[in-house]
A and B are shown apart, each in its own frame.
Chain A
Amino acid sequence: NAGVTQTPKFQVLKTGQSMTLQCAQDMNHEYMSWYRQDPGMGLRLIHYSVGAGITDQGEVPNGYNVSRSTTEDFPLRLLSAAPSQTSVYFCASSYLQGAVYEQYFGPGTRLTVT
Protein backbone atom coordinates (compact mmCIF):
# COMPACT_ATOMS: atom_id res chain seq x y z
CA ASN A 1 0.00 0.00 0.00
CA ALA A 2 1.18 3.49 -0.82
CA GLY A 3 -0.83 4.86 2.12
CA VAL A 4 -1.66 8.56 1.80
CA THR A 5 -0.03 10.38 -1.10
CA GLN A 6 0.03 14.12 -1.72
CA THR A 7 1.03 16.12 -4.77
CA PRO A 8 2.82 18.37 -5.33
CA LYS A 9 5.49 18.33 -2.61
CA PHE A 10 6.29 22.01 -3.12
CA GLN A 11 4.40 24.84 -4.79
CA VAL A 12 4.90 28.57 -5.20
CA LEU A 13 1.89 30.70 -6.14
CA LYS A 14 1.35 34.37 -6.75
CA THR A 15 -1.38 36.16 -4.85
CA GLY A 16 -4.72 35.63 -6.54
CA GLN A 17 -3.80 32.41 -8.33
CA SER A 18 -5.82 29.26 -7.78
CA MET A 19 -4.65 25.69 -7.50
CA THR A 20 -5.63 22.24 -6.28
CA LEU A 21 -3.65 20.17 -3.81
CA GLN A 22 -4.14 16.50 -4.50
CA CYS A 23 -4.58 13.79 -1.87
CA ALA A 24 -5.21 10.08 -2.43
CA GLN A 25 -5.33 7.04 -0.17
CA ASP A 26 -5.45 3.35 -1.03
CA MET A 27 -6.53 1.98 2.35
CA ASN A 28 -10.27 2.25 1.71
CA HIS A 29 -10.63 4.61 4.67
CA GLU A 30 -13.95 6.39 4.98
CA TYR A 31 -12.64 9.48 6.69
CA MET A 32 -10.29 12.04 5.17
CA SER A 33 -9.19 15.49 6.25
CA TRP A 34 -6.97 18.42 5.44
CA TYR A 35 -4.80 20.26 7.97
CA ARG A 36 -2.47 23.21 7.74
CA GLN A 37 0.61 23.68 9.88
CA ASP A 38 2.17 27.10 10.27
CA PRO A 39 5.70 27.57 11.68
CA GLY A 40 5.85 26.84 15.41
CA MET A 41 2.19 25.89 15.56
CA GLY A 42 0.19 22.73 15.74
CA LEU A 43 -2.05 21.37 13.00
CA ARG A 44 -5.35 23.09 12.35
CA LEU A 45 -8.22 21.29 10.65
CA ILE A 46 -9.41 22.92 7.39
CA HIS A 47 -12.05 20.53 6.02
CA TYR A 48 -12.92 16.92 6.51
CA SER A 49 -15.05 14.22 4.90
CA VAL A 50 -16.80 11.25 6.49
CA GLY A 51 -17.41 9.53 3.16
CA ALA A 52 -17.82 10.06 -0.57
CA GLY A 53 -20.15 12.96 -1.22
CA ILE A 54 -20.01 14.26 2.37
CA THR A 55 -17.76 17.10 3.49
CA ASP A 56 -17.78 19.58 6.35
CA GLN A 57 -15.79 22.53 7.64
CA GLY A 58 -13.11 22.35 10.27
CA GLU A 59 -11.50 25.10 12.31
CA VAL A 60 -10.07 27.24 9.47
CA PRO A 61 -12.10 26.66 6.26
CA ASN A 62 -12.11 30.16 4.76
CA GLY A 63 -10.42 30.38 1.36
CA TYR A 64 -10.52 26.64 0.72
CA ASN A 65 -12.95 24.30 -1.01
CA VAL A 66 -13.12 20.52 -1.01
CA SER A 67 -15.12 17.78 -2.66
CA ARG A 68 -15.12 14.02 -2.28
CA SER A 69 -16.41 12.21 -5.34
CA THR A 70 -14.61 8.93 -4.58
CA THR A 71 -13.43 7.17 -1.43
CA GLU A 72 -9.81 7.44 -2.58
CA ASP A 73 -9.45 11.13 -3.46
CA PHE A 74 -9.91 14.33 -1.45
CA PRO A 75 -8.55 17.39 -3.30
CA LEU A 76 -8.18 20.78 -1.61
CA ARG A 77 -8.78 23.86 -3.77
CA LEU A 78 -7.40 27.29 -3.08
CA LEU A 79 -9.71 29.69 -4.86
CA SER A 80 -7.60 32.88 -4.76
CA ALA A 81 -4.30 32.38 -2.98
CA ALA A 82 -3.24 34.85 -0.30
CA PRO A 83 0.11 35.19 1.54
CA SER A 84 -1.70 34.11 4.74
CA GLN A 85 -2.16 30.69 3.13
CA THR A 86 1.60 30.08 3.07
CA SER A 87 1.87 26.91 5.10
CA VAL A 88 2.50 23.17 5.04
CA TYR A 89 -0.63 21.22 4.18
CA PHE A 90 -1.22 17.68 5.39
CA CYS A 91 -3.87 15.30 4.22
CA ALA A 92 -4.94 12.43 6.46
CA SER A 93 -7.19 9.43 6.19
CA SER A 94 -8.58 7.39 9.04
CA TYR A 95 -10.92 4.64 10.01
CA LEU A 96 -12.93 4.02 13.13
CA GLN A 97 -11.06 1.45 15.21
CA GLY A 98 -13.47 0.57 17.98
CA ALA A 99 -14.39 3.96 19.42
CA VAL A 100 -11.44 6.01 18.14
CA TYR A 101 -10.05 7.21 14.83
CA GLU A 102 -6.47 6.34 13.99
CA GLN A 103 -5.22 8.86 11.45
CA TYR A 104 -2.67 8.23 8.72
CA PHE A 105 -0.98 11.34 7.37
CA GLY A 106 0.57 12.11 4.01
CA PRO A 107 4.04 13.66 3.63
CA GLY A 108 2.71 17.18 3.19
CA THR A 109 2.71 19.93 0.55
CA ARG A 110 4.77 23.02 1.28
CA LEU A 111 2.98 26.03 -0.23
CA THR A 112 4.40 29.53 -0.54
CA VAL A 113 2.23 32.41 -1.70
CA THR A 114 4.09 35.55 -2.76
Chain B
Amino acid sequence: DAKTTQPNSMESNEEEPVHLPCNHSTISGTDYIHWYRQLPSQGPEYVIHGLTSNVNNRMASLAIAEDRKSSTLILHRATLRDAAVYYCILDSGGYQKVTFGTGTKLQVIP
Protein backbone atom coordinates (compact mmCIF):
# COMPACT_ATOMS: atom_id res chain seq x y z
CA ASP B 1 0.00 0.00 0.00
CA ALA B 2 1.18 3.52 -0.75
CA LYS B 3 2.25 5.44 2.36
CA THR B 4 2.06 9.07 3.38
CA THR B 5 4.53 11.20 5.34
CA GLN B 6 3.41 14.16 7.41
CA PRO B 7 5.18 16.36 9.97
CA ASN B 8 4.41 15.32 13.52
CA SER B 9 3.28 18.78 14.59
CA MET B 10 2.76 22.33 13.36
CA GLU B 11 1.80 25.65 14.91
CA SER B 12 -0.26 28.46 13.50
CA ASN B 13 -1.46 31.80 14.74
CA GLU B 14 -5.18 32.29 14.97
CA GLU B 15 -6.81 33.88 11.91
CA GLU B 16 -3.80 33.15 9.70
CA PRO B 17 -3.69 30.59 6.87
CA VAL B 18 -2.26 27.14 7.56
CA HIS B 19 -0.60 24.89 5.01
CA LEU B 20 -0.40 21.25 6.10
CA PRO B 21 1.92 19.21 3.84
CA CYS B 22 1.75 15.54 2.95
CA ASN B 23 4.22 13.51 0.90
CA HIS B 24 3.06 10.42 -0.95
CA SER B 25 5.85 9.64 -3.40
CA THR B 26 4.63 6.09 -4.12
CA ILE B 27 1.06 7.11 -4.97
CA SER B 28 -0.48 5.20 -7.85
CA GLY B 29 -2.50 6.72 -10.65
CA THR B 30 -5.87 5.74 -9.22
CA ASP B 31 -5.24 6.63 -5.57
CA TYR B 32 -7.46 9.32 -4.15
CA ILE B 33 -6.02 11.66 -1.50
CA HIS B 34 -8.22 12.10 1.56
CA TRP B 35 -7.86 14.36 4.56
CA TYR B 36 -9.53 13.72 7.88
CA ARG B 37 -9.09 15.51 11.17
CA GLN B 38 -9.57 14.39 14.75
CA LEU B 39 -10.52 16.94 17.36
CA PRO B 40 -9.51 16.16 20.97
CA SER B 41 -11.48 13.26 22.45
CA GLN B 42 -13.55 12.80 19.29
CA GLY B 43 -13.63 10.46 16.34
CA PRO B 44 -12.08 11.56 13.05
CA GLU B 45 -14.15 13.65 10.65
CA TYR B 46 -13.88 13.96 6.90
CA VAL B 47 -12.36 17.17 5.58
CA ILE B 48 -11.77 16.87 1.84
CA HIS B 49 -10.56 14.57 -0.92
CA GLY B 50 -9.15 14.87 -4.42
CA LEU B 51 -7.58 12.94 -7.29
CA THR B 52 -5.67 15.30 -9.57
CA SER B 53 -7.16 18.77 -9.51
CA ASN B 54 -7.20 21.20 -6.64
CA VAL B 55 -10.40 21.03 -4.60
CA ASN B 56 -12.26 23.48 -2.41
CA ASN B 57 -15.06 23.03 0.08
CA ARG B 58 -16.45 24.95 3.03
CA MET B 59 -13.84 23.55 5.41
CA ALA B 60 -10.61 23.73 3.44
CA SER B 61 -8.77 23.60 0.13
CA LEU B 62 -6.64 20.76 -1.19
CA ALA B 63 -3.72 21.58 -3.46
CA ILE B 64 -2.27 18.57 -5.30
CA ALA B 65 1.15 18.72 -6.94
CA GLU B 66 1.26 18.16 -10.67
CA ASP B 67 3.18 14.88 -10.24
CA ARG B 68 0.80 13.92 -7.39
CA LYS B 69 3.70 13.01 -5.12
CA SER B 70 2.64 15.58 -2.55
CA SER B 71 -0.40 17.55 -1.48
CA THR B 72 -1.21 20.40 0.88
CA LEU B 73 -4.29 20.96 2.97
CA ILE B 74 -5.00 24.67 3.30
CA LEU B 75 -7.04 26.14 6.11
CA HIS B 76 -7.63 29.69 4.98
CA ARG B 77 -8.11 31.23 8.39
CA ALA B 78 -7.21 29.08 11.38
CA THR B 79 -9.45 29.25 14.42
CA LEU B 80 -8.99 27.69 17.84
CA ARG B 81 -11.57 25.07 16.82
CA ASP B 82 -9.19 23.89 14.09
CA ALA B 83 -6.70 22.56 16.66
CA ALA B 84 -6.69 18.83 15.86
CA VAL B 85 -4.69 15.98 14.40
CA TYR B 86 -4.88 16.06 10.61
CA TYR B 87 -4.54 12.79 8.69
CA CYS B 88 -3.53 12.53 5.04
CA ILE B 89 -4.72 9.21 3.65
CA LEU B 90 -4.49 7.42 0.31
CA ASP B 91 -7.52 5.51 -0.86
CA SER B 92 -6.28 2.61 -2.97
CA GLY B 93 -9.73 1.74 -4.20
CA GLY B 94 -10.75 -0.87 -1.65
CA TYR B 95 -12.69 -0.10 1.49
CA GLN B 96 -10.31 -2.12 3.64
CA LYS B 97 -7.23 -0.44 2.25
CA VAL B 98 -7.63 2.96 3.89
CA THR B 99 -4.88 3.34 6.51
CA PHE B 100 -4.62 6.15 9.04
CA GLY B 101 -1.07 7.10 9.98
CA THR B 102 -0.12 9.28 12.94
CA GLY B 103 -1.02 12.58 11.26
CA THR B 104 0.01 16.16 12.02
CA LYS B 105 -0.99 17.71 15.32
CA LEU B 106 -1.94 21.32 14.63
CA GLN B 107 -1.73 23.81 17.47
CA VAL B 108 -3.47 27.15 16.97
CA ILE B 109 -2.08 29.99 19.04
CA PRO B 110 -4.47 32.78 20.09
Contact = CB atoms under 8 A, between A and B. Distances in A.
B28 interface: no
A100 B34 contact: yes
A35 B100 contact: yes
Contacts of A35: 100
Contacts, number: 56
Nearest to A41: B102
Contacts of A107: 42-43
Q: In which size bucket is the chain A interface?
A: 20 to 34
Interface residues of B, number: 21
Nearest to A30: B95
Interface string B80-110: 0000000100010101101111110000000
Interface stretch (A11-19, A42-50, A66-74): A42-50
Given A42-B102, A42-B103, A100-B32, A48 B46 contact: no
Contact of A101 (B41, B87, B91, B99): B91
B68 interface: no
A103 interface: yes
Nearest to B49: A100
B44 interface: yes
B43 A90 contact: yes
A31 B95 contact: yes
Nearest to B51: A99
Contacts of B15: none
Interface string B37-56: 00001111110010000000
Q: Which of A33, A59, A90, A100 has the most CB of B within 10 A?
A: A100
Interface of A: 4, 31, 33, 35, 40-45, 48, 50, 56, 58-59, 90, 92, 94, 99-108
